[in-house]
Amino acid sequence: MDSQIIRVNQNTWRIEDHGVRFFLLTGTEKALLIDSGMQVHNARDIAKTLTTLPIFLLNTHADMDHIGSNEQFDSFYMHPAEESCYRKAGRNGQLIPVVDGEELDLGNRRLRIIHLPGHTPGSIAILDTQNRVLISGDPIQEHGRIFMFGEHRNMQAYIDSLEKLNGLTDTFDELWPSHADIPIRPDVIPKLIDGARKILNKEIKGVTEEFHGRQIAAYDLGFTVILCDA
């Protein structure tokens, strides 16, 4: 199945790419791709069919399913804590660092960076302040599978990030994750906090699964599944 382009409103699109999604946001001066897909390697070309504005790229993190078209860009925005993972994947290009609280202005459309370590050290969410939408990356999902196994995952940091985000829910009305249901409501955040704490405290048991030859534990929270090291 090819990628699917869905127009959300007059200046926002989401592109569904085989189980992961990325976004195109436009202002009056610039366009921003948030992530660049998994199987597609032409996200910039897709974006150019939708806008004539200069197109920039921001990555929520450096997992392979979010950087599929990065080679189309000479530079990209990313949290600097992701750079080592990005370079280990053999990727080039100039990383333009973005950090917690920083704002990007597309022209009458301001986006605030929120650092959410845990899923990866440099995972970020993007708050579209005027539209009260949080583009949340991988850490928050409903009816999905949140990867918390393997190198660089940190459950305590993940819980801390969720608690931080739970204190910001007066700034957004809905979340747009990179996987599974969209949109989702902010009330999923305290449910994730509770579930992650129970996993960390060994209050619930996971079911052992195999993932590409690796033994992992799947914790079904009822509304989503968190995958951890076995």
Q: What are the tens digits of pLDDT across the range 140-178?
A: 999 999 999 998 999 999 999 999 999 999 999 999 999
213 dihedral zone (left: phi>0; alpha: psi -120 to 50; beta):
left
- The single-letter code of the amino acid at 52 is T
The pLDDT of residue 1: 53
Distance CA 114, CA 215 (A): 32
Distance CA 77, CA 149 (A): 25
* Torsion angles phi and psi, residue 22, rounded to 5: -130, 170
> Please, are residues 114 and 123 in contact by the beta-carbon 8 Å criterion?
no
> Please, are residues 226 and 213 in contact by the beta-carbon 8 Å criterion?
no
Calculate mean pLDDT across residues 194-203. 97
State the Cα torsion 112-114-115-116 to the nearest 10°: -150
Q: What are the tens digits of pLDDT across the range 39-71?
A: 999 999 999 999 999 999 999 999 999 999 999
Helix, strand, coil percent content, the chain, rounded in steps of 5: 20, 35, 45
Structurally, at CATH architecture level, domain 4-202 sits in 4-Layer Sandwich (3.60)
Q: Where are the domains of the chain?
A: 4-202
- 20-26 and 31-34 strand pairing: antiparallel
Other C-beta atoms lying within 10 Å of the C-beta of residue 121: 20
Crossing angle for the helix pair 188-200 and 155-166, nearest 10 degrees? 150
* Torsion angles phi and psi, residue 80, rounded to 5: -60, -20
Average pLDDT, the chain: 97
